[in-house]
């Protein structure tokens, strides 16, 4: 059952570093900077940066910073910068300098409740209609997506394992029931095993876990026609994404349901009812059932259970068709050891961003580089091989804390 694959975790988390491709560095220009709230001056996380007229894109990291590699033939073009709840802007690439600070203005609009009531009986009716747009609004071609994936494991606040990969997603048309496939192009990792103690944390699924957050393609992981009755839905204040009016729908499981379900927000385009973004968490109040959903193996003398499970997915549109663009998973596990005074806390974070894509005229074919939904990425790679790789591949800029951890781990590995 797909739902089982989605939850098949054994205490782990994700992280990343920077990637480099064996291409001539003169064939592209790299720009970097940060995206900032014009009013509060705070950094904006997960802001989208897209080169207009192309499929090249990236997102800002948890420090609001970005790095974008632009082919020379696009240097005369423009970049669109957007973020949930802000007015999008367009900038000439030639006007952007290194360490550029890009400011976005908040854009909050009150939604006319009468307008909603005239179109939909309630928020649940809107969600059902949105899920029903799968066959009309979303990509109906075979697509080959280049994506950057990274996963991190932290013990408390210290980085223990860093892994990253460039993958190609063999994305099936949304209207058919065939599952997507993922091809591993290149991956690398660094691990400080001294910080993992005697407990090995591994996430089963790797990039597939992030891909399955595509609610439109895989609604069975969150809510579909079978379990949507177990949720309450209600309207929140409207907002804007890419200068378009967006319905915001809150959802949570109804009282009395023992099985852990989700709560969060759906951001739905008011004009065409496309899902633009979703941010949600699993209800982990029932420790036993939540643990059964994630933990497959654990030490006999330890209790392992999740204390947080948060998910995010963003969609992008081009030529009138929507498709998966970015997803993030944050899992926190607590390990209570019998006979020990203190517990251990591990955080698993993974994210995958589509950085380029193209439509394939022919059917996508599997090959020997394909991953499986049961793949553990950290077991597919060893060390930091092929350091000359990654040049033109766009990545999510690593956070400063991650960069520091990478350098420390690198020095430790060199000594050993």
Higher pLDDT, 270 or 2: 270
The DSSP symbol for 296 reads S
Select from 374, 376, 4, 311 the least CA-distant residue to 161.
Answer: 376
Within 13 A of 361's CA, how many CA atoms are on the CB side? 0
Q: Which two tokens stand for residue 167?
A: 């993958």
Would the pLDDT of 69 be above 80? yes
- pLDDT for residue 402: 63
Q: Which two tokens stand for residue 387?
A: 């350091």
- pLDDT for residue 198: 43
The enclosing H or E element of 364 equals: none
Contacts of 320 (CB under 8 A, 6+ apart): none
Q: Using pLDDT thresholds of 50, 70 and 90, give the confidence band for residue 239.
A: confident
Taking only the tens place, the pLDDT of each residue in 268-326 is 998 899 999 999 999 999 999 988 888 877 777 888 889 999 999 999 988 889 999 99
Among 22-36, 200-214, 258-272, which stretch is predicted with the lowest mean pLDDT?
22-36
Look at residue 114 and give its three-state secondary structure. helix
Higher pLDDT, 79 or 198: 79
| Alpha carbon 91 to its chain's center | 25
Mean per-residue pLDDT of the chain: 80
- pLDDT for residue 246: 87
Measured between alpha carbons, how far is 325 from 34 in angstroms, rounded to an integer? 20
Q: Which residues pair with 178 in a beta bridge?
A: none
Residue 35 burial (C-beta neighbours within 10 Å; 0-12, 13-18, 19+): buried
- pLDDT for residue 153: 81
Q: Using pLDDT thresholds of 50, 70 and 90, give the confidence band for residue 23.
A: very low
Q: Using pLDDT thresholds of 50, 70 and 90, give the confidence band for residue 4.
A: very low
- Which of 116-130, 232-246, 385-399 has the largest mean confidence? 232-246
CB 174 within 8 A of CB 140: yes
Say how many C-beta atoms besides its own lie within 10 A of residue 359's C-beta.
13
| Residues across the chain | 416
Would the pLDDT of 386 be above 70? no
- pLDDT for residue 169: 93
Strands (E), 52-98: 57-59, 65-71, 78-82, 89-92
Q: Which two tokens stand for residue 107?
A: 């854009």
Q: Which two tokens stand for residue 105?
A: 């203005």
Within 13 A of 121's CA, how many CA atoms are on the CB side? 4
Q: What separation in angstroms does the CA of 139 have from each of 200, 217, 247, 380?
A: 39, 10, 22, 31
Assign residue 36 a region: left if phi > 0, alpha if psi is -120 to 50, beta otherwise? beta
Map tokens 């900038």 to a residue.
Answer: 91
Would the pLDDT of 217 be above 90? yes
- pLDDT for residue 277: 94
In the predicted model, what is the mean pLDDT of residues 181-197?
71
- pLDDT for residue 91: 93
- pLDDT for residue 387: 56
Would the pLDDT of 25 be above 50? no
Would the pLDDT of 381 be above 70? no
Measured between alpha carbons, how far is 220 from 227 in angstroms, rounded to an integer? 8
Strands 48-51 and 57-59: antiparallel
Among 131-140, 318-327, 351-360, 367-376, which stretch is predicted with the lowest mean pLDDT?
367-376
Taking only the tens place, the pLDDT of each residue in 311-364 is 999 999 888 899 999 999 999 988 888 777 778 888 888 999 998 888 887 666
Measured between alpha carbons, how far is 348 from 304 in angstroms, rounded to an integer? 14
Among 97-111, 204-218, 367-381, which stretch is predicted with the lowest mean pLDDT?
367-381
Q: Using pLDDT thresholds of 50, 70 and 90, give the confidence band for residue 117.
A: very low
Select from 152, 163, 164, 161 the least CA-distant residue to 62.
Answer: 152
In the predicted model, what is the mean pLDDT of residues 124-139?
92
In the predicted model, what is the mean pLDDT of residues 76-85?
89
The CA-based dihedral angle spanning residues 92, 93, 99, 101, taken in that order and rounded to the nearest 10 degrees: 20
Say how many C-beta atoms besides its own lie within 10 A of residue 2's C-beta.
12
| Alpha carbon 67 to its chain's center | 17
Q: What separation in angstroms does the CA of 76 have from each of 23, 51, 59, 94, 122?
A: 21, 11, 21, 6, 47
CB 174 within 8 A of CB 216: yes
Q: Which two tokens stand for residue 280?
A: 């949600």
Map tokens 């663009």 to a residue.
Answer: 325
Q: Which two tokens stand for residue 269?
A: 């385009």
CB 83 within 8 A of CB 35: yes
- How much is the pTM? 0.81
Would the pLDDT of 13 be above 60? no
- pLDDT for residue 176: 87
Select from 191, 222, 211 the least CA-distant residue to 350.
Answer: 211
């Amino acid at each position: 059952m797909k739902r089982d694959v989605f939850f098949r975790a054994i205490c782990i988390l994700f992280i990343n570093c920077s990637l480099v491709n064996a291409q001539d560095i003169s064939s592209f220009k790299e720009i970097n900077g940060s995206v900032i709230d014009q009013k509060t001056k705070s950094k904006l996380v997960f802001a989208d940066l897209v080169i207009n007229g192309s499929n090249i894109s990236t997102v800002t990291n948890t420090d609001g910073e970005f790095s974008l590699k632009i082919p020379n033939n696009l240097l005369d073009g423009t970049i669109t910068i957007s973020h949930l709840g802000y007015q999008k802007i367009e900038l000439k690439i030639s006007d952007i300098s290194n360490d550029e600070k890009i400011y976005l203005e908040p854009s909050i609009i009150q939604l006319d409740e009468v307008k909603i009531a005239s179109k939909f009986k309630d928020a649940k009716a809107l969600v059902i209609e949105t899920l029903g747009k799968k066959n009309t609004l979303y990509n109906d071609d075979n697509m080959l997506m280049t994506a950057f994936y990274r996963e991190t494991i932290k013990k408390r606040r210290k980085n223990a394992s860093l892994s990253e990969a460039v993958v190609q997603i063999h994305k099936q048309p949304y209207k058919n029931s065939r599952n997507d496939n993922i091809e591993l192009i290149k991956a690398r990792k660094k691990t400080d095993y001294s910080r993992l103690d005697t407990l090995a944390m591994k996430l089963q699924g790797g990039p597939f876990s992030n891909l399955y957050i595509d609610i439109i393609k895989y609604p069975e992981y969150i809510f579909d026609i079978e379990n949507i009755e177990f949720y309450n839905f209600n309207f929140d204040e409207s907002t804007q994404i890419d200068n378009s009016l967006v319905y915001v729908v809150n959802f949570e499981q109804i009282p009395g349901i023992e099985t852990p379900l989700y709560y969060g927000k759906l951001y739905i385009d008011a004009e065409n009812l496309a899902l633009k973004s979703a941010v949600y968490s699993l209800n982990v109040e029932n420790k036993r059932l939540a643990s059964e959903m994630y933990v497959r193996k654990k030490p006999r003398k330890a209790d392992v259970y999740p204390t947080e499970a948060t998910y995010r997915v963003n969609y992008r549109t081009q030529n009138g068709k929507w498709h998966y663009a970015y997803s993030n998973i944050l899992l926190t596990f607590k390990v209570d050891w019998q006979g020990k005074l203190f517990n251990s806390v591990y955080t698993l974070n993974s994210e995958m961003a589509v950085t380029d894509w193209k439509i394939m005229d022919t059917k996508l074919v599997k090959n020997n580089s394909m991953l499986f939904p049961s793949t553990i990425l950290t077991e597919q790679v060893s060390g930091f091989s092929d350091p000359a790789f990654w040049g033109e591949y766009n990545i999510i800029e690593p956070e400063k804390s991650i960069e520091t951890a990478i350098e420390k781990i690198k020095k430790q590995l060199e000594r050993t």
